[in-house]
Amino acid sequence: MERNELYVGGSWVTPSTSSRGENVDSNTEEHLGSYALAGPEEVDRAVAAARATLNDRNGWAGYSPQQRAAVMRRFADAIERQRDAIGGLISREVGTPFERSRFSNADTASSLLRFYADIIASTELEDLRPAGRGHSLVRREAIGVVGMIAPWNFPLSTLFFKLAPALAAGCTAVIKPASLTALNSFLIADAAAEAGIPAGVINILPCDRATGDHLIGHPGIDKIAFTGSTPVGRKIGRMCGENLKPVTLELGGKSAALLLEDASVDTLISELHDLSFSNNGQACTNNSRLIVPDVLYDDVVDAVAAEVNRWKVGNSFDPETVIGPVVSAGHRESIERYYRIAREEGGRAVAGGNAVTGRGFFVEPTVFADVTPDMTIFREEVFGPAVSITRYSGDLEEGIDLANDSEYGLSGAVYTADETLGIETARRIETGTVAYNMSNFDIGAPFGGRKNSGVGFELGAEAIIPYLHYKTIFTPQVPAGF
């Protein structure tokens, strides 16, 4: 897959730079494809195109909510027609097992487009409210041109967390895909062209970090939406703060599943993969810390180790594979470094933890027992197929304190047979989402982080709000049409 042009202003254009990026197959380490990289000139051109259609009453700005919804549904149809190609390519880029890749990327993207199309089609642009004097006409307007920066782990679903509500709100977008997984973004550009997305509404620019900074600081960009690491998120936050530019940041996580003394070990094991090892461990929402009471500790350690040892590590297209490769050689080395540190600091590897030889970026899924809060693996995000198990006395307050003992606050879980206690405990976990006796992710409910896990939220009907300006028009009488 060799792509030599960039999708800007509704057309495929030759970039001003000769620089190129390359992606490799995470299963085999073989060349997967290369693509043109954008430079600052392409960013300027894309921002101009996005702003032109935003301001043109015959362009995107002139579309009614119902017309925008119709375009979004065509876009969803075009993505669905490419679901196998999209899922397969991302499975090679990221290592996600194929069925999961197709569902969590292509299917999620099309579902988000339809979800927000339905919402905006039934949303009034204006509502009239009685005021102390006269009336207030409250109007919803698009925030403008949005710069979107997507991560590599779920490159399409996380992009459409931003793009779908932004399109529904009437915004236009300039998108920077992650370099490690940029090839799949060209399939989305193909789908946008096929769906007849108006010129300039969607612009997709793979680029290096310096050009990405140019996008973030561009005066024609009205908002930035970013998913990625906490250090990069801090830098973006500073840049946006300097320019008083709204920003949404979905960042890292080090989430904990807290087991109470009456928790079902069988229920935990039935949920373990999606709870703690989703996407080969490459998911910020994974509950990579298990907080376990004394009375269950040995049983949990044995059961988790046995379950993880049972999983097949292999090619992402093998239907029996549970854990595929990770995204790159560099990421594999980072994960293995965390494994070494965990051992050095006293963690006991009860499953996995060994290097995998041969071609492909494979890492053994690993379980560390006897982990204490002072250890690196308790504190830092490994972003790989690893879980740590930490013992506590069984006192509820101690367990909650351990679950909350993190600079992150993105996800979490509580396991107990007592539903009332479980929900009440979940309310006390300092994090954006918490599951009770399960693992789950719902596009219909808000998702966002606390502490170092981010600023703002995505998903749910509420996610349109960050892409809107509200304008109030005072009027002494009821306007015509109301």
Rounded to whole angstroms, the Cα distance separating 202 from 185 reads: 11
Give backbone dihedrals phi and psi of 377, rounded to 5 degrees, phi first.
-70, -20
**Hey, is 464 helix, strand or coil?**
helix
Rounded to whole angstroms, the Cα distance separating 236 from 230 reads: 10
* 407 counts as catalytic: no
Q: What are the distances in angstroms from CA 230 to CA 40, 244, 373, 464?
A: 25, 20, 20, 24
The secondary structure element, H or E, covering residue 381 is none
Rounded to whole angstroms, the Cα distance separating 392 from 399 reads: 6
Length of the chain: 482
Long-range contacts from 293-298, C-beta under 8 angstroms, 24+ separation: 293/259, 293/260, 293/261, 293/391, 293/392, 293/393, 293/394, 293/399, 294/391, 294/392, 294/393, 294/394, 295/261, 295/394, 296/259, 296/261, 296/263, 296/265, 297/389, 297/391
Torsion angle of alpha carbons 421, 427, 428, 434, nearest 10°? 100
Give backbone dihedrals phi and psi of 23, rounded to 5 degrees, phi first.
-115, 150
Give backbone dihedrals phi and psi of 330, rounded to 5 degrees, phi first.
-60, -40
Rounded to whole angstroms, the Cα distance separating 186 from 144 reads: 24
Cα 455 from chain centre: 13
Structural contact between residues 151 and 158, judged by C-beta atoms closer than 8 angstroms: yes
Among 42, 250, 271, 307, the one annotated catalytic: 250
Structural contact between residues 385 and 280, judged by C-beta atoms closer than 8 angstroms: yes
Q: Cβ contacts of residue 478 below 8 Å, gap of 6+?
A: 128, 135
Rounded to whole angstroms, the Cα distance separating 94 from 153 reads: 6
Rounded to whole angstroms, the Cα distance separating 409 from 253 reads: 6
- For residue 460, give the nearest of 441, 449, 445, 448 by alpha carbon: 445
> In the numeric block, which tokens belong to residue 121?
């089609």
Structural contact between residues 354 and 324, judged by C-beta atoms closer than 8 angstroms: no
Q: Cβ contacts of residue 315 below 8 Å, gap of 6+?
A: 27, 321, 324, 325, 360
Q: Residues with catalytic annotation?
A: 250
